[in-house]
Amino acid sequence: MMKAAKINTVRIAESTWSTYEPQEGIFDFSHVERVLDAMEEAEMSVIIGTPTYAVPAWMVKSYPDVLAQTNQGRRLYGARQIMDITNPTYLFFAERIIRKLMEKTASRKYVIGFQIDNETKYYGTAGKNVQKRFVKYLRNEFHDNLEAMNRAFGLDYWSNRINAWEDFPDVRGTINGSLGAEFQKFQRSLVDEFLNWQARIVREYKRQDQFITNNFDLGWKQGSYGIQSDVNHFQASACLDIAGVDIYHPTQEHLTGEEIAFGGDLIRSLKHQNYLLIETQAQGFPEWTPYPNQLRLQAYSHLASGANSVMYWHWHSLHNGCETYWKGILSHDLQENAVYKEIKKFGTEWKQLDSHLVNLKKKNKAAILVSNEALTGLQWFRINGSLEYNDIVRWIYNCLYRWNIECDILSPDTKDFSPYEFIAVPALYAAPSQLLHRLNDYVKAGGHLLVTFKTAFTDEYLKVYSNIQPSILSECLGVSYQQFTYPQQVRLHSKLFTGTQKKEMVQEFMELLIPTTAKVLASYAHPAWKNYAAVTGNNYGKGYAVYVGCMTSNTILEQILFHVLENTNLLEEREIVQFPVIVRKGINDFGKTVQYYLNYSWEKQTVLYTHKEGMNLLTQNKVSTGTYLEIEPWDLQIIES
Amino acid sequence: MMKAAKINTVRIAESTWSTYEPQEGIFDFSHVERVLDAMEEAEMSVIIGTPTYAVPAWMVKSYPDVLAQTNQGRRLYGARQIMDITNPTYLFFAERIIRKLMEKTASRKYVIGFQIDNETKYYGTAGKNVQKRFVKYLRNEFHDNLEAMNRAFGLDYWSNRINAWEDFPDVRGTINGSLGAEFQKFQRSLVDEFLNWQARIVREYKRQDQFITNNFDLGWKQGSYGIQSDVNHFQASACLDIAGVDIYHPTQEHLTGEEIAFGGDLIRSLKHQNYLLIETQAQGFPEWTPYPNQLRLQAYSHLASGANSVMYWHWHSLHNGCETYWKGILSHDLQENAVYKEIKKFGTEWKQLDSHLVNLKKKNKAAILVSNEALTGLQWFRINGSLEYNDIVRWIYNCLYRWNIECDILSPDTKDFSPYEFIAVPALYAAPSQLLHRLNDYVKAGGHLLVTFKTAFTDEYLKVYSNIQPSILSECLGVSYQQFTYPQQVRLHSKLFTGTQKKEMVQEFMELLIPTTAKVLASYAHPAWKNYAAVTGNNYGKGYAVYVGCMTSNTILEQILFHVLENTNLLEEREIVQFPVIVRKGINDFGKTVQYYLNYSWEKQTVLYTHKEGMNLLTQNKVSTGTYLEIEPWDLQIIES
Amino acid sequence: MMKAAKINTVRIAESTWSTYEPQEGIFDFSHVERVLDAMEEAEMSVIIGTPTYAVPAWMVKSYPDVLAQTNQGRRLYGARQIMDITNPTYLFFAERIIRKLMEKTASRKYVIGFQIDNETKYYGTAGKNVQKRFVKYLRNEFHDNLEAMNRAFGLDYWSNRINAWEDFPDVRGTINGSLGAEFQKFQRSLVDEFLNWQARIVREYKRQDQFITNNFDLGWKQGSYGIQSDVNHFQASACLDIAGVDIYHPTQEHLTGEEIAFGGDLIRSLKHQNYLLIETQAQGFPEWTPYPNQLRLQAYSHLASGANSVMYWHWHSLHNGCETYWKGILSHDLQENAVYKEIKKFGTEWKQLDSHLVNLKKKNKAAILVSNEALTGLQWFRINGSLEYNDIVRWIYNCLYRWNIECDILSPDTKDFSPYEFIAVPALYAAPSQLLHRLNDYVKAGGHLLVTFKTAFTDEYLKVYSNIQPSILSECLGVSYQQFTYPQQVRLHSKLFTGTQKKEMVQEFMELLIPTTAKVLASYAHPAWKNYAAVTGNNYGKGYAVYVGCMTSNTILEQILFHVLENTNLLEEREIVQFPVIVRKGINDFGKTVQYYLNYSWEKQTVLYTHKEGMNLLTQNKVSTGTYLEIEPWDLQIIES
């Protein structure tokens, strides 16, 4: 059935350690070999996953210390991802199973690569051993200078000073966000270390033509949503040959393509290259059962973002276990179903087109800067209620997405911002001063910057800057503030906004901005706050920097964004269509431009094709400049020109 | 005051072990004897409860292991029902107090029976001893075949395989629903064992004319609501002479009689005989304070369901403790109050009529099949959000109730379905294949079956059937499905429905049905799902089987139900009135038919009496066929014919 | 900057033990001395706080037992207020740091007083040592009579009897509200003991002219809200020279002054004298960022309640720690901001007026009786859902506040009620019989009493009175009841109410009142409850007592209140204005009457001045009787006459 649907690759082995090592030191890879034999016969490729993210029962029974000690105490056996990834016993067994598995599989012809572990994070590990290492990490970080650490974290407060390293308290009880967030940063570094260690082992065995990847997962909110709190993907991906990701998302009326695009842009940006979509939903949760044609639209959307694979988790629905209702391509009856038939349909299309679609290269002029430290920082110091860092990131990202401005995702370690005409910086809460200086320099050199509230409020240790807010960036922004509040019935007053936008309320958070050199783009329509600015724009050097001091409606954000982009080429380059028609493009291996026109709606869409004459890859018809493209509901067109 | 109100029976002793055994091995039954003496003098009957469900402080202080180890750790002393019912120390003391109490009471003239323990369940007991026994239970269940167990539970998944019995992990952490639900089934069996053990002890002492009962309680949701997750009443009642139950329910505007009828039908079905209502509310919670006449209406409703007693918990409101606001007949001032006066009123009525009202026999032609395994299975694998198994059961039951179709409640062990013209099977999730075959046979032989979504999805180990859904039953139903989803703005298209029913939304869950031999009774009105059936009907053998693939409004369910029942005698036999007039009937000891007409509303109701000439028992007036019965608000009429 | 703003006092040292004793037995008070030197130079006063409410890391590391064992287990290090205040190790170290600190500071010229500990409560301490003492406390309380205790607490219920003191179970698991609430009362007494102990130590060192205070905090609900469950302020303040308090509250549109007035009235009543406002918000939480002029209005409101200081927590916003967003006078940039400028403005005003404003004496004729025991009692036995004791207290208090009837707050130990013309008794659930007799006597002697539902339902051990409800008070109230319920669509029928009040629903709780000698002031408009009274009034002796048997809307409560007050002088004495104009008054050190007119709104208010000719202190203009005072939004006027 896989062959018939033109499926050409499978991933195996990443979850079933207890099958391969049924008892300590007794190995049985017959299941793996059986699949490898079958794949060889079918001429299908295989990705081998190391099975280290789910430990066997015997290990926990004999060595209970392998289970992570978390803030909630010792984990009980049962779920995956419950072990202490620094525990030597665990690492001993993990190394042995990896080596045994590599011995059996690395030489096999159809094995094209290896996935080390799966959705790796630090699983809350915070036992004594981890805390001991954390103290050593801090001694190193602060050059053994306790006073420096007390000052950086502000530990005088509530008598939390640590006056001897021996007195270091159980960090799980801390109420000091600086200390707590630094511990999380340290915990994230354990993931880098763990993946590096696995990669080094696998590299001892793998062939030149085989790759190493991981299957990263995104921060979750009714699907793949934002960046992660428990792993720094930029750093963790350093040891990989190619980045991999799983992306899950709502469908039916809620299918927008936003998660596919955001996840793709993020993972593509990790190593500035194409990436593997290692998992995505076939049927997924009951509420995600796809409408007819949605699955095909989704698959093309992944390719349009730069994915070099679309792999489903999983082939067939499971008959037991807690993912029984996370359904695969086949339903539990293992027969052809609507989903399989649709996959077979576009599998066959791809078979014809794949050389035109893979390796799509992008050169985006827009970017968004994201930060794990800002994310966890804003968990310790919440903006307002349940509003999270990723909500701000997606508020900005989705706006660009709806208007078909493709972008890269940048890490705080980015040294060179010059490739970008426009950079958005949402809520960069924990902001090292060097990074802020680099952003100033970027604007000075002609860049266009959009910065939101909560940016540059604290340094990397979550210490609030004591000079001015937003610290350092106030230079390029030409604005500062001393106060902020939660809006109650506050609207915006601005020439930028029209009609109903004037009635839209400020949401969740607002800073009371006082411009220095900046012009006021919007001010607050409220008797108490009318003298304060809400949004400002400032010419700085050759560039222009806009500060958005409050959370606005989506349509108001769009007006602000257009204002920033007016002086760039981005507005001209972008397609004149907008969501629900999404346009993605890139250069393929033939050096040609491939343009996807994706219709995320029940309505047929008509789009004016304004580019050079091209070829509709799906119909193999020519498309002349000035033609109107008709795109059926939940359908797409691909033009190569 | 009791005598004046014609109260003739009291239940004592079930909660106050610490009073009867104030210190280990020191006994004092003077309180019991004082009451027995008083009752003897008053010529009132007494039911003696064994006091084993609440342990004394001294026992816990000296033997802390008697407290149950649960998923949340060791229980603290305080509440009742916190002990490990398998703990030998507890059992030693329990046996001794039972024997001592029996010695003192069994020979007393007015003691008519014994209640063993109270609202017995397994109280989450999951300590090491219990888990050891569970592993032995599994070894027996699977004939020591580990591979069979791993396969039945699907333990390969996430490396959960158990490759040696010694490796069996702490089951409290499991994420495998098959294993977890099997443990709950095992825990329920501990209740059977415990009650059996108590019954055997009591039987050594009791006279022939004395009975053994228990006071079962139902699953709770703002009152007695459905079947239990923590005890299998069908099995646990095997050791009893007569089943007993407590039923609590909302009153005031929310008094419908549904809980009284459902609880009564369930408990009457346990042993196919009349039952004892051991507890029900007098005043109960503050929000249940009854309107005038509601208490009398409720009391007759219990009799109408087949209860042979109506006992209140409790005589007077407690002045301390956590049930201070669960008020009894008397308020805290111990004086006559509105409730006492109403009880006195119908107590006096009953005194005249009791020989006509007790021992009401029913021969229902309709039944509902319920299952503890389906209940706990759907806790591990939820249908949608907070929707529970009992909600589906009650959705079906209440529909029958409102239309005055009386029914029995059947267990999955029922061997002979032939007495019933109609059987409803709500959400029978964990469905042994033999049971499904018996249901096929039932239809083939001429039965009428209504089956809802989620039935026959898995076997008894919660393994999803891999042949077809609904498995086995698809034979009689003539339908199958591969996909399901949560409805979003989905309506039904059907000739069965009229007017506003066409606008009513599908709720919570829908299966995308593909008929084989069945006719489509309703299909989905939604662009993505319009080709799928929602409700189907199938002629099979001499019978007819309807499958309801989604949750509908109550009024739509009624239409479906009428459709199934069209070819039975049930529609003709039922009264032509409907809720708020509820009609219940049966044969009394005189071989006459007793019909209750109960008015659950503020409005006076008029009902055409269509049966043979009879006698209005309350007024002692004759009632001719064709008379209009007038029933006052919250009042009733009883006709014997 | 402080001097410029006319700030003349600072409080230091209460939170930073780890700074003063960086290692066990090593002391360093240089920070304190540096501030003292600076203050001396600036001629500013200093209050020294003992730093005992937040322990250093070294103490917990070496002596982990100092952390409280609570119902949730042992606390982890991190937060403040986590220690067992009875632990001898903790007390040893606490005594030493207090003595060291006193030695360094008591003799300093500008040190005007000492705050012992901070916001002291019992922090849930419930370890074995605490429970041992509790048992001893009970043996004493019940004269070693176990039977008396079992009876008082009703421990027979659910087999909870304690038949030997050795059997006393872990009280943390109890489900007996009488026992549990008595434990809380005992825990509150530990706070009295702890503060007494600190006060005795401090008294050994302090000068005659130096005072001892504490910084009490109120029960919290979106700000300072009501009385405390975890400390009895009436008893705990006995060891203080002057009571201190912190008061925090919503601002912006939600600024009403209610919390300022309630908190002030409570703390002023503790010792029947002026009090210190030790903390209040400058900016506080983001949502509390004050509108222009609100901060000044608030400050005067505190003085108007009898505060002799207005101290902000805190000078500048913190750059780290969990109160980073609880902002001080200065923002994080430490520069002048809008808040500082406003404080500077009224600081300068005060400098002129302080001798007229401090030491304001009040002689209120109205009072509200509150009780910690009623508060915790109604946590064990909730009225309805989330409704709390403090909600009832504030329902009454706010009504008086809005109508400018100033009042004192009385403890249940009050012996002499004669100074008051009117006393309100909200929900006095746990009511000792002697207190109830005193209230009867008060009415008999001519007092006016308003009593609400839930009063006098139980004795001091939460045992429901078994004679009549409301017990004892039914004498002066002329009413009793046996039943109560939660209202569903119940309105009130009364001649007292007009217009829309007749449509307002009864809320949360209603008692079904049966008058004996009382007149019915309102009855229930509901078919089931129409024969019961809802509000009654009774002439008793020379007085009048009204019982409010249900929770009503605010406007209905106002009508009831006016009815009670009709025969008192209170209605005449009060200002004819009402909220949003709040009037407070008192006698200053010059023997003159000072009247504050505070405008809590965005609208300018005009008030007829009806008192003797006076002086507008802020403008220094004369004000004649019959003048109209114009009060700007969020502004005030102060007339001395």
Q: What is A294-328 written as a DSSP string?
A: HHHHHHHHHHHHTEEEE--B-SB--SSSTTTTSB-
> Helices A372-380 and A177-203 sit at what angle, rounded to 10 degrees?
150
The Cα–Cα gap between A494 and A520 comes to 9
Residues 6+ apart with CB under 8 A from C455: C425, C426, C427, C428, C429, C431, C470, C473
The chains in contact with chain B, meaning 3 or more Cβ pairs closer than 8 Å, are A, C
Amino acid at A105: T
Of the candidates C17, C77, C327, the beta carbon closest to that of A173 is on C77
- Using CA atoms, how far residue A25 sits from A78, C96, C615, in Å, is 21, 59, 95
Q: Which B residues, 465 through 484, put their C-beta within 8 Å of a C-beta on chain A?
A: 465-469, 480, 482-484
Interface test with A, best of B69, B138, B158 (most A CBs within 10 A): B158
pLDDT for the residue A576: 78
Contacts of C54 in chain A (CB under 8 A): 158-160
Contacts of B165 in chain A (CB under 8 A): none
Q: Which C residues, 365 through 404, put their C-beta within 8 Å of a C-beta on chain B?
A: 381, 384
A178 in reach of chain C (CB within 8 A): yes
pLDDT for the residue C582: 97
Q: Name the residue among A7, A11, A27, A10 with its Cα closest to residue A19.
A: A27
Residue A76, both tokens: 């009980």
- Residues facing residue B464 across a β-bridge: B458
C58 in reach of chain A (CB within 8 A): yes
Residues 6+ apart with CB under 8 A from C463: B319, B320, C152, C153, C154, C178
Q: Which C residues, 486 through 505, put their C-beta within 8 Å of a C-beta on chain B?
A: 486, 488-489
Please count the residue pairs, one from chain B and one from chain C, whose beta carbons lie less than 8 angstroms apart: 145
Cβ separation of C169 and B61 shorter than 8 Å?
yes
C514: nearest CA in chain B? Answer: B337
Q: What is B110-146 written as a DSSP string?
A: TEEEEE-SSS---TT---HHHHHHHHHHHHHHTTT-H
Amino acid at A289: T
- Residues facing residue C114 across a β-bridge: C48, C212
Under 8 Å between Cβ of C570 and C421: yes
Phi and psi (nearest 5°) for B258?
-60, -45
Q: Which B residues, 506 through 565, put their C-beta within 8 Å of a C-beta on chain A?
A: 509, 512, 527-528
The nearest CA of chain A is from the CA of C14 a distance in Å of 9
Amino acid at B578: Q
3-state secondary structure B508-523: EEEEEEEECCCEEEEE
pLDDT for the residue B498: 83
C61 in reach of chain A (CB within 8 A): yes
Cβ separation of A78 and B176 shorter than 8 Å?
yes
The Cα–Cα gap between C343 and C328 comes to 12
The nearest CA of chain B is from the CA of C479 a distance in Å of 14
Residue B103, both tokens: 């010695």
CA torsion sign for A501, A504, A510, A514 is: positive
The Cα–Cα gap between B13 and B104 comes to 12
Please count the residue pairs, one from chain A and one from chain C, whose beta carbons lie less than 8 angstroms apart: 145
Of the candidates B19, B253, B333, the beta carbon closest to that of C482 is on B333
Q: Which C residues, 403 through 442, put their C-beta within 8 Å of a C-beta on chain A?
A: none
State which residues of chain A have pLDDT below 70. Answer: 575
Q: Name the residue among C218, C216, C293, C221 with its Cα closest to residue C250.
A: C221
State which residues of chain C have pLDDT below 70. Answer: 575
Residue C423, both tokens: 């006393």
Q: Name the residue among B509, B493, B514 with its Cα closest to residue B552.
A: B509
B308 in reach of chain A (CB within 8 A): no
Of the candidates B16, B58, B335, the beta carbon closest to that of C164 is on B58
Cβ separation of A318 and B160 shorter than 8 Å?
no
Phi and psi (nearest 5°) for B182?
-65, -35
Under 8 Å between Cβ of C262 and C394: yes
Contacts of C176 in chain B (CB under 8 A): 78, 320-322
State which residues of chain B have pLDDT below 50. Answer: none
pLDDT for the residue A567: 87
Helices first, then strands: H and E counts in chain B: 17, 30
Q: What is A147-212 written as a DSSP string?
A: HHHHHHHTTTGGG----SGGG---GGG---HHHHHHHHHHHHHHHHHHHHHHHHHHHTT--TT-EE
Interface test with A, best of C15, C16, C18 (most A CBs within 10 A): C18
What's the ipTM?
0.95
The Cα–Cα gap between A344 and A355 comes to 18
